[in-house]
Amino acid sequence: MKKGFVQIIIVGLIVLISLIYITAWAPWITNQFAYQKALKSLNPSCRQLTQNEYAPPIINPYWKKPTLPEQLGLVPPFGKETTLYVICDGKSTKNIYFVSFLGTVKLKESTPILLKSQIQQTKNTTNETANWKTYKSKDNLYQISYPGNWTVNEMDDVSMGDNAIDISIIEWNDGSKEYAEEQWQSTPCGGSGDGNSEIGCIPMEIKESKKINLNGHLVYWRVDGNGQIHAWVPNKDKNKTIEIYSVLLKDKNLFDQILSTFKFTN
């Protein structure tokens, strides 16, 4: 009888210690499981931001590689939310995901964020462009700033610059990312034609290309073989893509400064 009582006491203590352990670790395990599920659901073109890229630095306890016990956690019956800071096609966002009990992942909310490098670049640009003028399009669709000694010419397209510099802006009636990406990827023509379908067109190499985030909008940026710089900014809501390109300007820093002031106003 006494031996059986001792066994009951021992089993009870083991159960009690196990409950305390599970209670202490359950929230961590649950959060880690949801976090890992959301991370695995990311599109291959996306990646998670590092702690030092975001400003202020992100403090996320689930960044470290989980141990085996942590990966065996279960999502509670009502599911669990988790947050990832990601960058996709040059656009950085804070994403909140809902992970169900069965492990399915759904994007609940996505908020644009600025990276530390973008904030610093914005501060530098603001100081350098403080005395610039601002051009607003006739249809009140966008605005862009330019050096104070430049002039603006509004013909079929908008051009701005001086005798040595000229930047043109065109509005295209297609605001889809697919259209902008198609233009961005198309081989520029270095011959007499304006495109590859033209007689006399000699395909020109693309020296540099990238996608960047500009005030919450995805920008397709490119430098052609002749040094000409292009940027396409699609706006699906307005069904417009704004193309900004240099005619004579081959200074990437100045072009990017001008581009950084661009924003949709309507």
Contacts of 167 (CB under 8 A, 6+ apart): 146, 159, 160, 161, 244, 245, 246, 247, 249, 255, 258
Q: What is the pLDDT of residue 232?
A: 92
Q: What is the mean pLDDT of the chain?
A: 74
Percent of the chain, pLDDT > 70?
Answer: 69
Q: What is the pLDDT of residue 202?
A: 65
Q: What is the pLDDT of residue 164?
A: 61
- Residue 163 φ/ψ region, left for φ over 0, alpha for ψ in the -120 to 50 degree band, beta for the rest: alpha
Q: Do 87 and 155 belong to one domain?
A: no
pLDDT band at 8 (very low <50, low <70, confident <90, very high): confident
Q: Are 90 and 219 in contact (CB under 8 A)?
A: yes
Q: What is the pLDDT of residue 21?
A: 52
Q: What is the pLDDT of residue 197?
A: 44
Q: Do 251 and 124 belong to one domain?
A: yes
Average pLDDT rounded to a whole number, residues 43-55:
76
Q: Do 133 and 43 belong to one domain?
A: no
Residue with more model confidence, 89 or 152:
152
Sheet holding 229-235, edge to edge: 151-154, 158-161, 166-172, 240-246, 229-235, 217-224, 206-214
Average pLDDT rounded to a whole number, residues 114-123:
63
- The whole-model pTM stands at 0.53
Residue with more model confidence, 108 or 201:
108
Count the domains in the chain.
2
Q: What is the pLDDT of residue 73?
A: 47
- CATH at residue 229: 3.40.1000.10
Q: Do 183 and 51 belong to one domain?
A: no
Straight-line distance from the first to the last Cα atom of the chain, in angstroms, rounded to the nearest whole number: 85
Rounded distance between C-alpha atoms, residue 18 and residue 11, angstroms: 10
Q: Do 70 and 146 belong to one domain?
A: no
Q: What is the pLDDT of residue 259?
A: 87
Q: Is 169 helix (H, G, I), strand (E, B) or coil?
A: strand
Residue with more model confidence, 32 or 242:
242
pLDDT in tens, 56-93: 555 554 555 555 544 444 444 467 788 888 888 777 88
Q: Output the CA torsion sign for 193, 199, 204, 206.
A: positive
Q: Do 228 and 250 belong to one domain?
A: yes
Q: Do 94 and 123 belong to one domain?
A: no
Residue with more model confidence, 215 or 172:
172
- 90, 113, 136: which is the final residue of a domain? 113
Q: Are 145 and 126 in contact (CB under 8 A)?
A: no
C-alpha neighbours within 13 Å on the C-beta side of residue 101:
3
The DSSP code for 73 is -
pLDDT at 113 over 50: yes
Q: Do 108 and 128 belong to one domain?
A: no
Q: Rounded to 5 degrees, what are φ and ψ at 179? A: -65, -45
Rounded distance between C-alpha atoms, residue 176 and residue 12, angstroms: 65
Q: What is the pLDDT of residue 75?
A: 45
H/E element, 259: helix 252-260
Q: Quick one: tokens of 99?
A: 């992970």
For residue 75, give its domain range: 2-113
